[in-house]
Amino acid sequence: MPTIWEGRRHSVAGTATGGKLPTRRYRVTSERLYWTAGRLGTKTQSVPIWAVRDAVVQQTIQQRARRVGDVTVSLQHPDYSGMPTFVVLEDIEHPRDVARRITDTSKRARSAHDELQG
């Protein structure tokens, strides 16, 4: 399963400590959206990419100055009954590009999923 995009959280605290604070990593493949939290003890979660309905970018003034932003990914497909209903990719570089990649990938995956379902 090819990786479409991967990145990590670029927080102010993480940058100030040289990345020694707990971090978050994100990865989008043609089939799933993954996010991992923690540095020593980690927890990885994922959702099917076909369940993604939308990806919206939000940036504070501080985030704009650091050239990062948050991408909120909504999961609203009728066949998706898992949790959560949204995922926030925090403090990522090039958030608009990432949101576009997620949306484009999810549209293709959703079309394939819907075609298989009926």
Task: Provide the residue ranges of all domains of the chain, joining segments of one domain with +.
Answer: 3-117
Residue 9 and residue 39 in contact, taking contact as beta carbons nearer than 8 Å: no
Residue 28 and residue 105 in contact, taking contact as beta carbons nearer than 8 Å: yes
Residue 18 CA to residue 1 CA, distance in Å, equals: 32
pLDDT digits (tens, 9 = 90+) for 59-96: 999 999 999 999 999 998 888 888 779 999 999 999 99
- For residue 113, pLDDT beyond 80: yes
Structurally, what CATH architecture does the domain formed by 3-117 represent? Roll (2.30)
Q: What is the pTM of this model?
A: 0.87
